[in-house]
């Protein structure tokens, strides 16, 4: 009996969503090609972040919604995801590819489609895997709460605190995004152009190509006609974030205003989501609804932080009332300083440069310090329970 070839020198392939029968089929189809590690769907992302697999096989037939969400998250972490199913319906394949999967494979058939998909991905030595930057998404509870102001100035404060690290802002609002306007920079390299050239760009070339602000922040946005937004879908968001976190220490995501597929792809990819709100009833009601969606998506207190922007101590809607209504603590406040903030926006500059000693700038710096602490240890949020 001939011996099978030994598996290539790469980490085991993680398998999620497979029942015993699917697991047996996959092991048989990939015998001699790769070692498989069966993981529960709910634990797969944590396992993948510890073990750094190159490939994930995700079986769609039993937990479709959970597997699609997992695919978005793993793909954003740089894992090559292969969706596997017995279902040959075109809508199933389309859903798989929109979730950021590298390929789709039929589980059963005369030929081993799974083997084809796995061997099409070149083996990559674990030591060659790129570093993984931190993704921070700013989500506005409603329009006009200052989410873009927070995103751009958070990036500026990160550059100030850690000048040796690279920071990039991704504006996922491909129709009416504001980042280029707030920073007063032209679009040097459109998002669609970046995506078309992901495989050709090395570390230095991507850094030189992207739009640059005077602070050193790079920007990825889709400028031009609003119709160009059709070029950006959920898969583009997933692929772009995965690419950027390979080349940048901090990826700030702005332009999140709803729960469409593109927004969900960005939220799933984020390490932290900053839910921005203001001290008014519409913002409070929407913030409560957003937190409900985040809970259903499986985001816990270690991922979501509530930030009260334009904070005023004497506002009728005080922090205690907000905490009681939301049922969670407030993680940070950023002072209300209309004159200072809008002067910076009009000049296309950042608060750390235009008003380095203002209260609002210090609050943004505090937000950076808060995020730095929570990456290393748990902390108790203001006026609330432990996060």
Tell me what the pLDDT averaged over the chain comes to: 84
pLDDT, residue 162, reads: 84
pLDDT, average across residues 250-279: 93
Tell the residue number behind the tokens 């000049």, with chain if given: 347
H helical segments located in the chain = 20-29, 44-51, 64-76, 90-98, 113-119, 147-161, 179-183, 191-196, 203-209, 234-247, 261-269, 281-296, 319-326, 338-347, 351-354, 359-376
Does residue 109 surpass a pLDDT of 90? no
In the chain, what percentage of residues exceed pLDDT 90? 41
Non-local CB neighbours of 329 within 8 Å, separated by 6+ positions: 306, 323, 380, 381, 382, 383, 384, 385, 387
Checking if the pLDDT of 126 tops 60, the result is no
Read off the pLDDT of each residue in 125-139 and give the average, rounded to a whole number.
71
Say whether pLDDT at 282 is over 60. Answer: yes
Query: How is residue 382 annotated by DSSP?
Result: B
Domains and CATH numbers, the chain: 13-128 (3.40.50.2300), 134-376 (3.40.50.300)
What mean pLDDT is predicted for residues 337-365? 93
> Could you count the other beta carbons within 10 Å of the beta carbon of residue 57?
28
Residue range 34-52, pLDDT digits in tens: 788 899 988 888 888 778 8
Q: At what angle do helices 234-247 and 261-269 cross, to 10 degrees?
A: 30
Answer yes or no: is pLDDT of 69 > 60: yes
Phi, psi of 76 (to 5 degrees): -65, -25
Question: How confident is residue 88, by pLDDT bands cut at 50, 70 and 90?
Answer: confident
Q: Name the residue among 47, 68, 50 with its Cα closest to residue 59.
A: 68
How far apart (Å, rounded) are the C-alpha atoms in residues 385 and 387?
6
In total, the chain counts a number of residues equal to 387
At 256, list the tokens: 């999140």
* Spatial distance between the Cα atoms of 141 and 115, rounded to a whole number of angstroms: 45
């Amino acid at each position: 009996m001939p011996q099978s070839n030994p598996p290539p020198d790469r980490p085991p392939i993680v398998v999620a969503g497979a029942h015993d029968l699917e697991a047996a089929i996959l092991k048989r189809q990939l015998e001699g090609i790769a070692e498989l590690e069966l993981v529960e769907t709910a634990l797969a992302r944590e396992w993948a972040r510890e073990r750094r697999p190159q490939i994930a096989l995700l079986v769609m037939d039993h937990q479709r919604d959970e597997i699609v969400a997992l695919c978005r998250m793993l793909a954003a972490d740089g894992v090559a995801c292969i969706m596997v199913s017995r279902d040959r319906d075109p809508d199933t394949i389309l859903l798989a590819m929109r979730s950021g999967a590298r390929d789709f494979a039929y589980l059963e058939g005369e030929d081993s489609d799974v083997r084809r998909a796995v061997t099409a991905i070149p083996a990559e030595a674990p030591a060659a895997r790129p570093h993984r930057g931190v993704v921070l998404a700013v989500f506005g509870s409603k329009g006009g709460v200052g989410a873009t102001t927070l995103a751009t100035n958070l990036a500026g404060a990160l550059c100030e605190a850690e000048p040796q690290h690279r920071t990039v802002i991704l504006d996922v609002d491909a129709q009416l995004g504001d980042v280029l306007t707030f920073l007063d920079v032209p679009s040097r390299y459109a998002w669609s152009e970046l995506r078309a050239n992901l495989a050709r760009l090395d570390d230095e070339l991507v850094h030189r190509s992207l739009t640059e602000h005077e602070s050193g922040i790079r920007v990825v946005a889709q400028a031009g006609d609003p119709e160009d937004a059709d070029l950006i879908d959920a898969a583009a968001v997933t692929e772009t974030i995965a690419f950027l976190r390979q080349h940048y220490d901090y990826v700030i995501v702005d332009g999140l205003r709803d729960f469409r597929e593109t927004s969900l792809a960005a939220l799933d990819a984020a390490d932290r989501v900053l839910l921005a709100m203001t001290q008014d009833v519409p913002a409070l009601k929407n913030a409560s609804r957003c937190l409900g969606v985040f809970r259903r998506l499986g985001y816990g207190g270690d991922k979501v932080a509530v930030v009260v922007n334009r904070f005023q101590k004497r506002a009728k809607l005080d922090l205690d009332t907000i905490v009681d209504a939301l049922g969670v603590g407030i993680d940070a406040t950023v002072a209300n300083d209309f004159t200072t903030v809008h002067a910076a926006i009009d000049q296309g500059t950042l608060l750390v440069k235009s008003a380095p000693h203002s209260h609002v700038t210090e609050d943004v710096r505090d937000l950076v310090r808060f995020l730095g602490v929570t990456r290393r240890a748990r902390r108790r949020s203001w006026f609330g329970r432990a996060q």
